[in-house]
Chains A and B, each alone.
Chain A
Amino acid sequence: DIVLTQSPGTLSLSPGERATLSCRASQSVTNNYLAWYQQKPGQAPSLLIYTASNRASGIPDRFSGSGSGTDFTLTISRLEPEDFAVYYCQQYGGSPPYTFGQGTRVEL
Chain B
Amino acid sequence: QVQLQESGPGLVKPSETLSLTCIVSGASIDKSNYYWGWIRQPPGKGLEWIGHIYYRGTTDYNPSLNNRVTVSVDTSRNQFSLKLNSVTAADTAVYYCARPYGGYILSWGQGTLVTVSS
Which A residues have a C-beta under 8 Å from some C-beta of B? Answer: 1, 33, 35, 37, 43-47, 50, 56, 88, 90, 92-93, 95-103
Contacts and interface: CB of A to CB of B under 8 A. Distances in A.
Interface of B is mostly: strand
Interface of A is mostly: loop
B2 to A, nearest CB: 13
Interface in B22-78: 46-49, 51-52, 60-64
Given A44-B109, A44-B110, A44-B111, A100 B46 contact: yes
B107 to A, nearest CB: 9
9 contacts: A35-B105, A37-B105, A88-B47, A90-B47, A90-B104, A97-B49, A97-B60, A98-B103, A101-B46
Interface of B: 46-49, 51-52, 60-64, 96, 100, 102-106, 108-111
B49 A99 contact: yes
Given A96-B60, A96-B62, A102 B106 contact: no
Contact of A45 (B100, B102, B105): B105
B96 A44 contact: yes
The 8 closest A-B pairs by CB, nearest first: A92-B103, A44-B108, A35-B104, A96-B60, A100-B47, A97-B62, A50-B104, A98-B49
